[in-house]
Amino acid sequence: MEDSRLVKVEDYEVIVGSEKVERVREKAKLLQDLHVVHINSTYYGGGVAEILSSLILLMNSTGIKTGWRVIQGSPDFFTITKKIHNALQGGDINLTDRKLKIYEDVVYENAIRNHLDHDMVIIHDPQPLPMIRHYKRKCPWIWRCHIDLTNPNRELWNYLSPLIERYDAVILSIREYQQKLKTPQLFFLPAINPFSIKNRDMTEAEIQERLVHYNIPTDLPLVVQVSRFDRWKDPEGVIRAFKIARKEIDCTLVLLGNIATDDPEGEAVYDSLIKQREDRIIILSHQDTALVNALQRRATVVMQKSIREGFGLTVAEAMWKGAAVIGGNVGGIRYQIEDGVNGFLVSSVEEAADRLIQLLKNKKLREEMGQRARETVREKFLLIRLLEQYLDLFGSFETLYLLRGSIVV
């Protein structure tokens, strides 16, 4: 059944040109018989779900049958996987036998529930990682890790790496995350869907309607950070930088976030921020993508002051809207922002405050950086590029497995 409401590869032609669109279409034609499945741990909240919700529809629009499974788990399970997530980003973890048993047992239960008879299985992040143990593999399995692996906890890595090496390929966001593994490692930068509710054009009336609906004042310059309520996103540091900056120039801060279903720490982070609410420090927890769009478009400055970041999809989203962006000088944010050219990179609260003051006072600088930021996203961070990378990977596996089949015969 065909639905004209779904975004198709052809829709990207007005943005990236006909040559790229035609190249992607031709690659997809060679893979029409493929049946692919992506597996992660949440339908919403955070960049992984954001990418998958659009990427899977775009894959299907090319004729590749692509499904999406989300694993189930108890609160204990997600508490443990959050600790695993944090430890992969360099945090401490007490890896007890009890915790590992809960982790492995819940993954096994999910393996029993999910009957995978596909041509390609893509597992996202550590939550469903051990599922590979429980299947007789007849196709390539790929582990896509979206986490900053600059300095993983070694005890945890020693436990996970034998599992990872069962996979046919590992996809990381950037080369700095590369690890010593027998499995081939590839590097796919994430990307945004420019046609989604979160990223498509809005009229001034539509922007104003969303802001009025949530009682967000627009009489002063808006400083905005949009991200999951996660300590790695450093919302406390954003508030401190804002308080320094507003001593020189009046402004309003909006921190908009959500609590992902697989992140049990999110509520505690949100509760700690609520205590810092003021008339000009607005803390919101809403699942409203049109509000995200409106805030990023109306913001005078957008911040993403992460202290660890696999990529930071909200940076590309804000850059696409022509915003002046200040990002933490970490992980994938450095691949999006060229410091002083299309935004600023910062490594401390004080530096963030200085750059915030500079941008708030200089409209011309904001506009120039915003124009360059949008062009950066157009060239590098749109979903059609990510789709093409997956098509190339699928094509290489198709060739490999056909050769293996001919050898067996």
Task: Give the model confidence (pLDDT) of 291-345 as tens digits.
Answer: 999 999 999 999 999 998 989 999 999 999 999 999 999 999 999 999 999 999 9
- Residue 150: predicted pLDDT: 92
pLDDT at 216: 97
Q: 128 pLDDT exceeds 60?
A: yes
pLDDT at 408: 31
In a domain, 102, yes or no: yes
Answer yes or no: do 150 and 53 share one domain: yes
Residues of the chain above pLDDT 70, percent = 95
Q: What is the pTM of this model?
A: 0.90
Asked if the structure places residue 198 within a domain, the reply is: no
13 CB burial (10 A radius; 0-12, 13-18, 19+)? middle
* Together in a domain, 290 and 145: no
One-letter identity of residue 329:
N
Same domain, 128 and 66: yes
**Distance from chain centroid for Cα 268:** 22
Residue 196 included in any domain: no
Same-domain check for residues 183 and 210: no
pLDDT exceeds 60 at position 404 = no
Residue 20 has pLDDT above 50, yes or no: yes
What is the structure's pLDDT at 138? 87
If one compares 2 and 322, the residue with the highest pLDDT of the two is 322
Pure H helices in 265-362? 266-274, 289-298, 313-320, 333-336, 349-361
pLDDT in tens, 149-180: 999 999 999 999 999 999 999 999 999 999 99
DSSP notation for 380-401: H-BHHHHHHHHHHHHHHHHHHH
- 147 and 273 together in one domain: no
d(CA 382, CA 320): 9
The HSE-up count of residue 91 (CA atoms within 13 Å, CB side) is 19
Q: What is the pLDDT of residue 397?
A: 84
Q: Is residue 58 part of a domain?
A: yes
User: In this structure, are 342 and 396 located in the same domain?
Assistant: no
pLDDT at 270 over 90: no
Residues 361 and 393 in one domain: no
* Judgement on whether residues 114 and 76 belong to the same structural domain of the protein: yes
Could you tell me the CATH number of the domain that includes residue 38?
3.40.50.2000
Residues 154 and 303 placed together within one structural domain of the fold: no
What is the mean predicted confidence (pLDDT) over 28-32?
93
Q: pLDDT value at position 260?
A: 65
Mean pLDDT computed over every residue of the chain: 93
Q: In which band, very low, low, confident or very high, does the pLDDT at 409 lie, cut at 50, 70 and 90? A: very low
- Do residues 168 and 397 lie in contact, with contact meaning Cβ atoms separated by under 8 Å? yes
* Structural domain contains residue 392: yes
In a domain, 45, yes or no: yes
Distances (CA, A) of 106 to 71, 109, 114, 212: 9, 5, 12, 44
By percentage, how much of the chain surpasses pLDDT 90?
86
Are residue 138 and residue 245 in the same domain, yes or no? no
**Is the domain of 264 the same as that of 305?**
yes
Are 322 and 298 spatial neighbours (Cβ–Cβ below 8 Å)? no
- Model pLDDT, residue 4: 58
Per the structure, the complete domain to which residue 169 belongs is given by 9-14+31-191+382-400
Write down the pLDDT at residue 403.
43
